[in-house]
Structure 1
Amino acid sequence: MLSRGSWAETSRVTELLRQETVGGALLLVAAVVALVWANSPWESAYTSLKELTVGPAALHLDLSLASWSADGLLAIFFFVAGLEVKREFVAGDLREPRRAAIPVLAAVGGMAVPAVVYVLVNLVAGSVALQGWAIPTATDIAFAVAVLAVISTHLPAALRTFLLTLAVVDDLLAITVIALFYTRALEPLWLLLALVPIAAFGVLVQRRVRSWWLLLPLAFVAWALVHASGVHATVAGVLLALTVPVARSQAAGGPEAGPGMAEHLEHRLRPVSAGFAVPVFALFAAGVTVGGLTGLREALTDPVALGIVAGLVVGKAVGIFCSTYLLSRFTRAELDDGLSWIDVFGLAVLAGIGFTVSLLIGELAFGPTSLRDDHVKIGVLVGSVVAAVLATVVLRARNRVYRAICVDEERDDDADGIPDVYQS
């Protein structure tokens, strides 16, 4: 279990996490700016900016900037996540069911147990509070790798791959939950019409058409129609991504002729997603007026906030760790050399950092600008910070072991550009 995999997959994961680290740093900066701004004398300017309405009213797209960031910019985030999911299961190491079982079951456990914890805490609060059950189920990979960068831990390749694939599956499950449980007033006609531009987009990318003047208008029309259908517009991002082919294009009778469409689009859009879309969403979503220690205590007496904190800190750790451990017990699989169960537990705790998607689900569950939505934001922020601190303690304690493993994984005595451990 949790073996390091192939060199091609390891190098790709390392590069992706490097990009996510930069995006995570921008995400943290945006969240801090939002919190400081919302609790400053200029709070009214922050609120006015969030509520500024732009867009054509004739198309029912006269949305606030906060809505554009949640519905529009996060569609880019989920498009990139959809590309990553498809690439992992079609061409990555997860195309093998044996390897895919671990992150898939861990992700399922990491979503189911936090939801149960939230429900148990909120049973006394009534049915209105229970609709936020999915808030603590998401993992924010950008936030998590930013924490890893800050604490300077040297995670081995196997753990880095496990963390990324866990988060990828988590994103897919999260958008499925949003589509199934947070859709209100469904308009089937608009949803059926959305299949037309999605199909046209799919035909073009299957033919390796890379013209932005064709792809972008189709993507926007698909997004607008899904938005009009009542289904959250970010679902359009995943649906479009799943039409993109993963296989590399082939020269006639020759070797591989360059990156496939999924790799090409991901390379172009991941910097936009990590460096712009997600931080801007955080800027508009994370701003909550805390009201000092009194306001913080008041928020944390709300079962909604308590359920979120308990779900992120306890539910995530228990769900991911127990799912992985039970899989090993029933299959008699053993951890890779050099790793121990405390490493799995440390990553499980780290996965309790739920920020971007948790804030999105919170808005869908209780509505933006409501008092309960403010408590959701405080719960997500507190739970994520507590999970980050606890993960730091666990992972830093193992950093000496990680350093030794990384030395072995980087040794290249024959200087061929591929570490020797991947050729033995």
Structure 2
Amino acid sequence: MPRAVEIWPFRPTVRYTRQLAEALRAETVGGVVMLLATVAALVWANVSADSYEALRTVRFGPGSLHLDLELYRWVQNGLLTVFFFVAGIEVKEEFVHGELSNLRKAALPILAAIAGMIVPALIYLAVSAGAPGASRGWAIPMATDIAFALAVLAVTASAMPAALRAFLLTSAVVDDLGAITVIAVFFTRHLNLLALLAGVALIVLYGVLQARRVRGLWIYLPLALLSWYSIEISGVHATVAGVALGLMTRVHSGPGEESSPAERADHYIRPFSAGFAVPVFAFMSAGVVFSAESLGTMVTDRVVLGVIAGLIVGKFLGVFGGAWLAVRLGLAKLSEELHWRDMAAVSILAGIGFTVSLLIGNLAYGDDPGRANAVTTGVLAASLTASVLAALLLRVRVRNHLNAQDDV
């Protein structure tokens, strides 16, 4: 057995520490706003389902450009692209300045995140085996909603070591990258190759201009919109354009620049993403009608049970097992500030799927409203359960940490 070396957490730069703190604050606020939007959607849908559905399905946009879309599609394919643009910037920052800049240092969150995607999918497939259309939803329990997860962590366990929050944020970045890859590869129904090539060319041009330090919003905004439009009509999900543009955004400051384009974009766009784009998506996606029939479907439909088991059981086993494997193989050593019980709590917290799980659920079962609503109910139930379980365990761990500090 190779000797374990301490590679997590490592000492972050001042720049990365500042960015981490800003991200935690913004996502925490966003999580609260998203929760309020979810509650509002559930209340409206159960008070007046017809008016809620009428709002979701109102159509507008230029038909000649193939953009005569329903409102929920504008939100899903348009507003959510902003969220994935911010996610792309986060991934780029992590690879250049953060934990992912050194693969050995990143072993713990990377292995935890990868296992946290594979194991839930396998558990989903095992539980849902034989159910009609089950294979379409295997990716639903793979994702972690970082906004909700960080909100729960901040509210219940602000006194926990920063290493735990950093682990959650970093593993979620890898999780986001995996989710957008799955969406791009497995949820492309048809492909307009010419439009796709045009979108790729525009995104590459955006990257070239960034590398050459060309400045000017008047250049990049039209490029971003044209890139989004090309990917949207190509058949590939439009959110892929968001994460690609985020990855192409420069993260190094140039001569005469106080901050990099990525920092400036994150500073201005993240509040819009966390405070408006994602909550509006939650509002448009979470409005399921609760009835005896729908609740009965939730406990009898093996697809829904697979989603719930994948998020609650699979995420815990995957994230915790991946972290344990990284340490067991000598790739990482758990910080002296942390205990495996801390990792268990944050692994349960990873079972909060929500945003990306709802998106994948809509993509998988959008043509089957009954199944889509049941899956949405399952995602909400699993996310709520994971939140409560993690909050209870985190409160216990906070008391233990505080008692240990008092003893010292």
Q: TM-score range by the shorter chain?
A: over 0.9
Deviations 1:171-230 (A, max 9, x none): 010000000111111111110011232123223322334422221111111111101111
TM-score normalized with structure 1 length: 0.90
Match of 1:337 in 2: 336
Aligned to 1:398, the other structure's residue is in SS state helix
Match of 1:283 in 2: 283
Match of 2:123 in 1: 117
Unaligned runs of 5+ in 2: 1-6
Match of 2:243 in 1: 238
Q: 2:180 aligns with which of 175, 179, 184?
A: 175
Q: Given residue 38 of structure 1, which amino acid in structure 2 is its aligned partner?
A: A
Q: State whether structure 2 residue 235 is matched by structure 1 residue 269.
A: no
Match of 1:96 in 2: 102
- Alpha-carbon contact 2:60-2:68 (below 8 Å) kept: yes
Q: State whether structure 2 residue 148 is matched by structure 1 residue 136.
A: no
Deviations 1:52-111 (A, max 9, x none): 111111000011110011000111111110011011111223211111121111111000
Aligned to 2:275, the other structure's residue is in SS state helix
1:42-121 alignment, distance < 5 Å: 42-121=48-127
Structure-2 separation of matches of 1:62 and 1:214: 26
Structure-2 separation of matches of 1:381 and 1:368: 20
Superposition deviation, residue 300 in structure 1: 2.3
Superposition deviation, residue 14 in structure 1: 1.9
The 1:59/1:405 distance shift into structure 2, 3 A limit, reads: farther
- Alpha-carbon contact 2:191-2:236 (below 8 Å) kept: yes
Q: Given residue 279 of structure 1, which amino acid in structure 2 is its aligned partner?
A: P
Query: Could you tell which deviates more after superposition, 327-336 or 378-387?
Result: 327-336
Aligned to 1:186, the other structure's residue is in SS state coil
Query: Could you tell which deviates more after superposition, 330-339 or 75-84?
Result: 330-339
Q: State whether structure 2 residue 356 is matched by structure 1 residue 350.
A: no
TM-score normalized with structure 2 length: 0.94
Equivalences, count: 399
- Alpha-carbon contact 1:163-1:347 (below 8 Å) kept: yes
Match of 2:303 in 1: 304
- Alpha-carbon contact 2:80-2:278 (below 8 Å) kept: yes
Match of 1:420 in 2: none
The 1:360/1:405 distance shift into structure 2, 3 A limit, reads: farther
Q: State whether structure 2 residue 156 is matched by structure 1 residue 151.
A: yes
Deviations 1:356-376 (A, max 9, x none): 000000011011661000011
Structure-2 separation of matches of 1:258 and 1:241: 20
Superposition deviation, residue 12 in structure 1: 2.3
Q: Given residue 274 of structure 1, which amino acid in structure 2 is its aligned partner?
A: A
Q: State whether structure 2 residue 167 is matched by structure 1 residue 162.
A: yes
Q: State whether structure 2 residue 30 is matched by structure 1 residue 23.
A: yes
The 1:113/1:311 distance shift into structure 2, 3 A limit, reads: same
- Alpha-carbon contact 2:59-2:70 (below 8 Å) kept: yes
Query: Could you tell which deviates more after superposition, 367-376 or 224-233?
Result: 367-376
Structure-2 separation of matches of 1:332 and 1:370: 45
Query: Could you tell which deviates more after superposition, 325-334 or 353-362?
Result: 325-334
- Alpha-carbon contact 1:338-1:405 (below 8 Å) kept: no
- Alpha-carbon contact 2:202-2:223 (below 8 Å) kept: yes
Match of 1:323 in 2: 322
Unaligned runs of 5+ in 1: 252-256, 408-424
Q: Given residue 269 of structure 1, which amino acid in structure 2 is its aligned partner?
A: I
Superposition deviation, residue 406 in structure 1: 9.3
Give 4+ residue runs of structure 1 displaced > 6 Å after superposition: 404-407
Match of 2:370 in 1: 371
Superposition deviation, residue 237 in structure 1: 0.6
Match of 1:390 in 2: 389
The 1:169/1:406 distance shift into structure 2, 3 A limit, reads: farther
Q: 1:218 aligns with which of 208, 223, 226?
A: 223
Structure-2 separation of matches of 1:406 and 1:217: 54
Q: Given residue 281 of structure 1, which amino acid in structure 2 is its aligned partner?
A: F
Match of 1:14 in 2: 21
Larger relative contact order (C-alpha < 8 A, sep ≥ 6)? 2
Superposition deviation, residue 7 in structure 1: 5.2
Superposition deviation, residue 379 in structure 1: 0.6
Deviations 1:233-284 (A, max 9, x none): 0000111112111111134xxxxx4111111111111111101110000010
1:243-254 alignment, distance < 5 Å: 243-251=248-256
Match of 1:381 in 2: 380
Superposition deviation, residue 151 in structure 1: 2.4
Percent identity for Structure 1 against Structure 2: 51
Structure-2 separation of matches of 1:153 and 1:243: 34
Q: Given residue 18 of structure 2, which amino acid in structure 1 is its aligned partner?
A: S
Structure-2 separation of matches of 1:368 and 1:209: 44
Structure-2 separation of matches of 1:404 and 1:94: 33
Superposition deviation, residue 130 in structure 1: 1.3
The 1:348/1:119 distance shift into structure 2, 3 A limit, reads: same
The 1:372/1:54 distance shift into structure 2, 3 A limit, reads: same
Aligned to 1:223, the other structure's residue is in SS state helix
